[in-house]
Amino acid sequence: MPCKLSVNVNAIAYLRNRRDLPWPSAVGLSRLALEAGAAGITVHPRPDERHIRGTDVTDINRLLRSSFPGAEFNIEGYPDERFLRLVEAEKPDQVTLVPDDPGQATSDHGWDMAANAGLLREAIARLHRGGMRVSLFVDPDPARPAEAKALGADRVELFTGPYGAALEPENARRELGRVVAAGEAAARAGLGLNAGHDLTRDNLPALVAALPNLKEVSIGHAVTADALAYGMAETVRKFRAAIGDV
């Protein structure tokens, strides 16, 4: 099956929150993305609600369940009690656990699974009891997927920030090689594979071609930026073409 696109709407909510106004609407633009063929929506509700708010999570979940029952809802976050209670209430299709400090601007590294084994094993088991698939956000290191599998994860999401930031061709080839090695290790470990961070229409085709086991890419910043030029629906169609989901 082709790789699928999950649209991260954090940046849309961040723009909305600059004013005490209801637009741009994270729900409305999620609808446009799904109507254009996005396979799902991703949100990362942080404790300070600087972008996605708890009400957004509920409203987007309601949109998906009522109007797009085949689409997937992916909620990202650090597995503290607040977050775990939120996802237990909303029951998304996938929960992606990330090691973010609450003050981080964005996710910029994967889990140290040896140091956080107890926390992650307990959280994964709890989420599985709620019927949710669990993905762990990991650095592009071939050792990480086997560690995630041992903790009970269903998937890993590879942090592709260094690949996305590698604008010089030689650096891009080197970083792509790291991502591919980790993705191949995920296949050997029997894990599903996701990827995300600084992925664009320019760097996606090489990634998807090199990793036929890649199931999902979660993209927010580049989708939002392109939507300013092309509109959300046309942007989603362009990204779907970039990953071969046509």
The verdict on whether omega for the bond into residue 24 sits within 30 degrees of 0, i.e. cis, is: yes
Task: Count CB atoms within 10 A of the CB of residue 78.
Answer: 20
* Coil, strand or helix at 109: coil
By annotation, the residues acting in catalysis are 44, 76, 197
Q: Answer positive or negative: Cα dihedral of 191, 173, 107, 64.
A: negative
Task: Count CB atoms within 10 A of the CB of residue 47.
Answer: 13
State the helix-helix crossing angle for 232-242 and 26-35, rounded to 10 degrees: 50
Radius of gyration (C-alpha) of the chain in whole angstroms? 17
State the helix-helix crossing angle for 221-230 and 232-242, rounded to 10 degrees: 120
* Coil, strand or helix at 17: coil
- Cα separation of 175 and 182, whole Å? 11
DSSP symbol at 98:
-
* Coil, strand or helix at 180: helix
State the Cα torsion 14-72-233-60 to the nearest 10°: -40
